Structure 1
Amino acid sequence: MQERSSVAELAASLRSELNRYSIGGKLPSSRALVERYRVSPVTVSRALAQLAAEGLVVTRPGAGAYRARPRTAEAVPGDTSWQEVALSAEGAGEVVPRSVDASGVLQSLAAPPPGVIELNGGYLHPSLQPERAMAAALARAGRRPGAWGRPPMEGLTELRDWFAREIGGSVTAADVLVAAGGQSALTTALRALAPPGAPVLVESPTYPGLLAIARASGCRPVPVPVDAEGVRPELLAAAFDATGARVFVCQPLFQNPTGAVLAPARRTEVLRIARAAGAFVIEDDYARALAHEDAGPLPATLAAEDHDGVVVHVRSLTKATSPSLRVGALAARGPVLDRLRAIQVVDSFFVPRPLQEAALELVGAPAWPRHLRTVAAELRHRRDVLAGALRRGLPALRLPHLPSGGYQLWVQLADGADDTDFTAAALRSGVAVAPGRPYFCAEPPAAYVRIGFAGVSGAVELGEAVQRLRSGLGPHA
């Protein structure tokens, strides 16, 4: 078989030979298949991924591929059709029935098949995670006196104090609750501030996880358009007037997915408009630790500039560390803090103390600022490599804004293109990107995809990804 042989041809050859191996038996190594069939490692990887998707083989990272156990006929399932009535009856009398649509979140959390380059994720690649520092912090935390005891329900005082200093302004530890990551904190905030059926103003486009939270809570997300300088204040004021909403959720710094930073003049306007409407602003400060090397001085948090208890601040350590370090914070002032605390206690009691102790050890170690500097330099480099490769290899794509923080590019497709078609074609080419449609809670104004650059091993893999996209989609995709 020559190098030009297709993935389909190799998959067919391997499929026809599977009976030679016992159930659970190991197939030849990728190197052996490359030499035997005279194909590239990428072709082998894609062919094995296709067989894995068909349930014929099981791939184990670092170990190889094995013949899978044949699927046996499943037992006849019971009749669960009654659940449709039971689940829908809950929302029969509600203005906005509750629904749980996790598709947008799952697209960013799902691991791609073997051999596919992951540009749809939202976490740092293991090579960028401070694994040694985290391991050392966890070991030190485990030896702390009382580390395995019950923590204060609000969180460790020292950790709350650290979060308060990071948030800035006059925020103190007394204003902070330790939360189990940003998603949990956002869920608590929305449940505290917006009753079922209430409208919730959101940026458009915005993070799909937020839209999922709102809809699962029975709230109605209402879009407010974002441009290169963040949310547009005149449209925000109009949305408050038209809907009577009492909550606006925003990401003022490196907005996901656009990467926009809320302009200085707009920051004051957003707070003024919300205060006049008697509304809260949930500030999701998810990417402050993901500023690029060329970002310059970062603006203060909205919470630091708020003196009237308008802002409920959300942040997390997860994005800058590891998906499994799910430690974040909620900060608020006034009676709303008691409601946030009550909801969090009912939902989860508290964040496990060993995890809080480990987070405290990590952010207090000399390795922490070094890690942030490394991430800042690497994210800037990857952003530039990816943006340059897209402009050269796929000139039909448009980059409305080059962000100075975060981990993604928000890319507009050529006129007439469809984001779901583009995403499917990209996956067939061996690249996973995120379709733009789940980022809108109303009709998208144009077709977009979100292309991440933090979840790969480095710049070389980004270049390979764009080459695959160009080969599979063509330069005019």
Structure 2
Amino acid sequence: MSDSSSIETLVAILRREITRLSPGDRLPSSRDLITRHGVGPVTVSRAIALLAAEGSVVTRPGSGTYVATHRPRSAGAEPDTSWQAVALAGRDALPDRPDEQSDAEAPDTIRLSGGYLHENLQPTRPLGAALARAARRPDAWHRAPAAGLSTLRTIFARQAGGDVGPEDVLVTGGGQGALSMLFRAVAAPGSPVLVESPTYPGALAAARAAGLHPVPVPIDDEGLRPDLLADAFAMTGARLLYCQPTFHNPTGTVLSPERRRQIVDVARAAGAFVIEDDFARHLGHGRPAPRPLVADDRDGTVIHLASLTKPASPSLRIGALIARGPVMRRLHAMRRVDDFFIARPLQEAAVELLSTPAWDRHLRTLATALQHRCVLLADALARELPDWTLARVPEGGLHLWLRLPPGLAEPTVADAAAAHQVAVNLGRHYFPAEPPAAHLRLGFAAAAEPAKLTEAARRLALATRDLGRTAD
């Protein structure tokens, strides 16, 4: 049993005991709890700390632990919040993020869902060392500049290439927060925003939360179609395009060199901005990623978004926006409204991480691991589920995009997969309008080990066979 599960078990036991005691009654000593429940002193100490934090007990050094006089509200005594339905009337409900991990997943579930690296693919030791070095800086807890540390902005500018300079960079709290800021800063509520179809659900959620209306523009094997993009700008009057030109989520498509120029030209002719979400630049499978759109843009058409959370850790909430002209001044103003600045220790840790040879070694190791996992899962699916259509074996990113055969519905397959302890992402969440067919997005980076991917494909085949027997 893991330490966390031992602590949770002991907390549950003590909560039951507390309900049978009166305020002020003394709980058994730590020594008694260790002997009675067969746990270690650290487990007891952390369980008591959790109960104290929630207000169930109070601790008195040298005396013991006692039932609190005012215990937290019991589970059956929920407050009446129905009045809030009236107070919130007229406001659209904020969209959910269906691609996030569910708390209801069984412990042995193989995760082909979500969009982050498993812990054993993250650079845990370099991250810890970077954070420790950052904490030792004498100015580690000083206020950070609103635009971000100059050293970190210089690193992001160098990664973007072209003539991008640190003055063009605004450090952000990860990619999702940057998207929310961008949509609110650039487009007025009620405006259309053009998006690839399919596209990243987090972008759809952020756009809708900002009051924007996503308008789909189809993609093909070469990425976003410039002809349909021009039509969409003309029909809608949109002044904003959101796209992922490199290792597109969910399909893995890379926008072709010719279209990279055409997309920017079409947007410039329409007087529109292009948000280039470059989240996967460090997620290639061994081949270098194409040059970012922003590197060849001198007129401020492209707003570039970069992030460190995907190749490093979900908790390294550091990203960057690259923009020129009045839009950057507007983003600076939005920064002053939203959060003033990004926490300096985290920025310093990012600088320490990106400035060491360990980061380059991690990226090389990660590229090899992702390429191996990608091919392994693709081969297993082709073997176990030959009637599922794989869009492509991508050269970067974290996912495979599959079209289900006719007659299979996404929710039905997902429920059957969950019953066989495999978590998947429904394809319909990646479309801003009606999906043309049933799809699933299957990730290969969140599983604990590569062998789990082969097992997941086997379980998915069993799940679909069970569906066929049920239909018969």
Q: 1:307 to 1:85 in 2, by over 3 A?
A: same
1:431 Cα deviation (Å)?
0.3
Q: Distance in 1 between matches of 2:162 and 2:75?
A: 63
- 1:276 aligned residue: 269
Partner of residue 24 from structure 1, selected from 5, 13, 16: 13
- 2:356 aligned residue: 365
Matched residue SS, 1:186: helix
Q: 1:476 to 1:76 in 2, by over 3 A?
A: closer
Q: 1:264 to 1:109 in 2, by over 3 A?
A: farther
1:145 Cα deviation (Å)?
2.2
Q: 1:130 to 1:22 in 2, by over 3 A?
A: closer
Partner of residue 96 from structure 2, selected from 98, 102, 110: 102
- 1:81 aligned residue: 82
- 1:233 aligned residue: 226
Q: Distance in 2 between matches of 1:112 and 1:154?
A: 40
Q: Distance in 2 between matches of 1:455 and 1:126?
A: 8
Partner of residue 251 from structure 2, selected from 255, 258, 264: 258
Q: Distance in 2 between matches of 1:165 and 1:329?
A: 12
Matched residue SS, 1:290: coil
- 2:138 aligned residue: 145
Q: Distance in 2 between matches of 1:23 and 1:383?
A: 41
Q: Normalising to structure 2: TM-score of the pair? A: 0.82
Q: Which runs of 5+ in 2 are unaligned?
A: 1-9, 15-42, 44-72
Deviation string for 1:167-226 (max 9, x for gaps)? 111100000000000001111111111110000101110111111111111110101111
Deviation string for 1:113-150 (max 9, x for gaps)? 20111110211111110000000000000111201110
Amino acid at match of 1:168: G
2:179 and 2:203 in contact (8 A); partners too: yes
Does the alignment pair 1:401 with 2:392?
Answer: yes
Q: Distance in 2 between matches of 1:228 and 1:416?
A: 25
Matched residue SS, 1:323: coil
Amino acid at match of 1:428: A
Deviation string for 1:81-108 (max 9, x for gaps)? 3323332335xxxxxxx441124243x4
1:298 Cα deviation (Å)?
2.3
Partner of residue 191 from structure 1, selected from 180, 184, 191: 184
Partner of residue 470 from structure 1, selected from 446, 452, 461: 461
Q: Percent identity?
A: 54
- 1:450 aligned residue: 441
Q: Distance in 1 between matches of 2:142 and 2:78?
A: 47
2:143 and 2:344 in contact (8 A); partners too: yes
Does the alignment pair 1:376 with 2:370?
Answer: no
Does the alignment pair 1:328 with 2:330?
Answer: no
Q: Distance in 1 between matches of 2:310 and 2:447?
A: 15
Q: Normalising to structure 1: TM-score of the pair? A: 0.81
1:238 Cα deviation (Å)?
0.6
Q: 1:196 to 1:343 in 2, by over 3 A?
A: same
1:207 and 1:257 in contact (8 A); partners too: yes
1:323 Cα deviation (Å)?
0.5
1:459 Cα deviation (Å)?
1.5
Q: Distance in 2 between matches of 1:165 and 1:23?
A: 52
Matched residue SS, 1:221: strand
Q: Which runs of 5+ in 1 are unaligned?
A: 1-20, 26-62, 64-70, 91-97
- 1:345 aligned residue: 336
2:99 and 2:114 in contact (8 A); partners too: no
1:443 Cα deviation (Å)?
0.4
Q: Distance in 1 between matches of 2:276 and 2:161?
A: 14
Q: 1:401 to 1:125 in 2, by over 3 A?
A: same
Deviation string for 1:329-366 (max 9, x for gaps)? 00100010010111122111111000000000001111
Q: Distance in 2 between matches of 1:111 and 1:453?
A: 21
Q: Distance in 2 between matches of 1:165 and 1:307?
A: 16
Q: Distance in 1 between matches of 2:326 and 2:115?
A: 34
The residue correspondences of 1:161-176 to structure 2 (distance < 5 A) are 161-176=154-169
Q: Distance in 1 between matches of 2:129 and 2:381?
A: 39
- 1:391 aligned residue: 382
Matched residue SS, 1:451: strand
Q: Distance in 1 between matches of 2:201 and 2:85?
A: 25
Q: Distance in 1 between matches of 2:353 and 2:321?
A: 19
- 2:116 aligned residue: 123
Q: 1:99 to 1:279 in 2, by over 3 A?
A: farther
Amino acid at match of 1:450: R
Q: 1:110 to 1:232 in 2, by over 3 A?
A: farther
Amino acid at match of 2:186: L
Matched residue SS, 2:386: coil
Q: Distance in 2 between matches of 1:443 and 1:145?
A: 55
Amino acid at match of 1:24: I
- 2:175 aligned residue: 182
- 2:411 aligned residue: 420
Q: 1:159 to 1:73 in 2, by over 3 A?
A: closer
Q: 1:300 to 1:125 in 2, by over 3 A?
A: same
Q: Distance in 2 between matches of 1:22 and 1:321?
A: 33
1:250 and 1:281 in contact (8 A); partners too: yes
Q: Distance in 2 between matches of 1:454 and 1:340?
A: 33
Amino acid at match of 1:451: L
Q: Distance in 1 between matches of 2:142 and 2:400?
A: 43
Deviation string for 1:272-301 (max 9, x for gaps)? 1100110000000000100002xx332110
Matched residue SS, 1:88: coil
